[in-house]
Amino acid sequence: MIINLRAAKARLSELVEKVSRGEDVFLTVWGKIKARLTRAGAGTVDTRAWARELRKIREANSTGRPPKMTIDQIIDELREDRF
């Protein structure tokens, strides 16, 4: 099923039900597909393996220097831009 984002917001409960039965739902913005809703698999995510992989990526990309800003500071800065 393909539906625009505005209509999807109004029909979210219905779409979640369709997705839970196995149907994929594609969301469009200005006629272009931007996202896909798909059924979540029961227990398909191995969180320990995911955490190990994330740790490897962080170690491989680390500069060894502490970050200039914390995540909270980044979020606060982004929020300030909205007002």
**Is the CB of residue 24 less than 8 Å from the CB of residue 36?**
yes
So what's the pLDDT on residue 83? 61
pLDDT over threshold 90, residue 65 = no
| Amino acid at position 68, single letter | K
Tell me the domain boundaries of the chain: 2-37, 47-81
Are 43 and 18 contacting, i.e. CB atoms less than 8 angstroms apart? Answer: no
Tokens at residue 43, please? 């227990």
59/52 Cα distance (integer angstroms): 11
DSSP state of 68: S
Give the rounded distance of the alpha carbon of 25 from its chain centre. Answer: 15
CB 15 within 8 A of CB 38: no
Q: What is the pLDDT of residues 4-63, one digit of tens each?
A: 999 999 999 999 999 999 899 999 999 999 999 988 875 567 788 888 998 898 888 888
